[in-house]
Amino acid sequence: MQLDLFLDNRHTILFNTAEVHLRNLELEQAVMICEEILTETPGDLNASAAKKAAEAWLQRLASFDSTPPGIDRIYHLYQNLTESDPATLTYGLRAFMIECLEEAEHPELAFIPPSFHIGCLLLEIERSVEAEKWFSRALDAAITEQGRFLAFRGDAFCMAGDPKSARECYLAAFIKDPLGVDIACLRDKAVRDLLIEIEEEGFTGEEAVCWLPAWGWLKEIFSLGKTGGEGNGTAWDELPSKGEIYTAMAASRLWLEYLRHAERLRTEIRDDKELIRVRREMKELNPILFDRYMVKIRGREGRGCIQRKPAG
């Protein structure tokens, strides 16, 4: 006798249908189907949880519709998201919030710290390509939190499978506004680990964060970009001296520029006299990182040498 496939899979089909309704925010239909499941299987925990969440969000969305428009009411919805809500429902809610934010005036600038932004919502539902575009728009519009949004953009590239572009953004974030970056939330583990590693070298707090661009290059996570100050308008005879450096941020930024200049002198210009001067400045500014730098350079130069065998 042939079995009735629908009857055999009725429970699964009903619950899958409920999840489609949840994703589309068709919450009344989702509640009805969950009630049908619970009538047939009173102890079904998934259907019970989905029904409870759908009913709660029906009330919240009704209240949302009667609230004056603005980013605050969308953020209030976001704050009510919980891990216990079905994943299909939270996806639908985030998609709904994205649509609401798109209708706002200058949506790229609509931001509530630490991470409520249309781009961040897109990342949360794994639409990384769209997210990157929104972060780029925010940066082009001169959003105040430049470092944080450069890091957000790096996260988008990371999720999209473009680690090179991601790390360029992370590096720019640490140079532009190191203290504005939420390092613990970065999606590139190797970049997150940089802070742990530099703290093991004795750097702490804000100082450790400020030195991450140079440390990241030493650990072969970051590149130097254009060397010798090119592209940033810095003239080497205008750079401040060590005696004029008062903050870790200024010292680390200057050291990075010296590093770029030193590498250009070493690999392109071959000006040994100037290289000695620049390295002296680097050593005075940060002897710990300078020692690491020299170990790295000697290792590179050593690998480039041909070892001669002894005669005989």
What is the C-alpha to C-alpha distance for residues 273 and 154, in angstroms, rounded to an integer? 38
Task: Tell me how long the chain is.
Answer: 312
What is the C-alpha to C-alpha distance for residues 152 and 156, in angstroms, rounded to an integer? 6
Strand partners, 116: 112
- State the pTM of this model: 0.85
pLDDT by residue for the chain (312 residues), tens digit each?
444 555 558 889 999 999 999 999 999 999 999 999 999 999 899 999 999 999 999 999 999 988 888 899 999 999 999 999 999 999 999 999 999 999 988 999 999 999 999 999 999 999 999 999 999 999 999 999 999 999 999 999 999 999 999 999 999 999 999 999 999 999 999 999 999 999 999 999 999 999 999 999 999 999 986 543 333 434 444 455 555 545 667 889 999 999 999 999 998 888 889 999 999 999 999 999 999 999 999 886 655 443 433 333
Q: With contact defined as beta carbons under 8 Å apart, do 300 and 292 qualify?
A: no
Strand partners, 79: none
**According to the model, what pLDDT value does residue 243 have?**
53
What is the C-alpha to C-alpha distance for residues 30 and 15, in angstroms, rounded to an integer? 9
**According to the model, what pLDDT value does residue 43 have?**
86
Q: Which two tokens stand for residue 77?
A: 């919805």
Q: With contact defined as beta carbons under 8 Å apart, do 268 and 230 qualify?
A: no
**According to the model, what pLDDT value does residue 214 have?**
96
In angstroms, the Cα distances linking 83 to 90, 116, 196 are 9, 17, 29
- The amino acid sitting at 177 is D
Q: Which two tokens stand for residue 299?
A: 């290792």
CB neighbours of 130 closer than 8 A, spacing ≥ 6? 122
**According to the model, what pLDDT value does residue 271 have?**
85
In angstroms, the Cα distances linking 134 to 8, 71, 140, 176 are 46, 16, 10, 19
Q: With contact defined as beta carbons under 8 Å apart, do 221 and 194 qualify?
A: yes
**According to the model, what pLDDT value does residue 300 have?**
67
What is the C-alpha to C-alpha distance for residues 44 and 205, in angstroms, rounded to an integer? 50
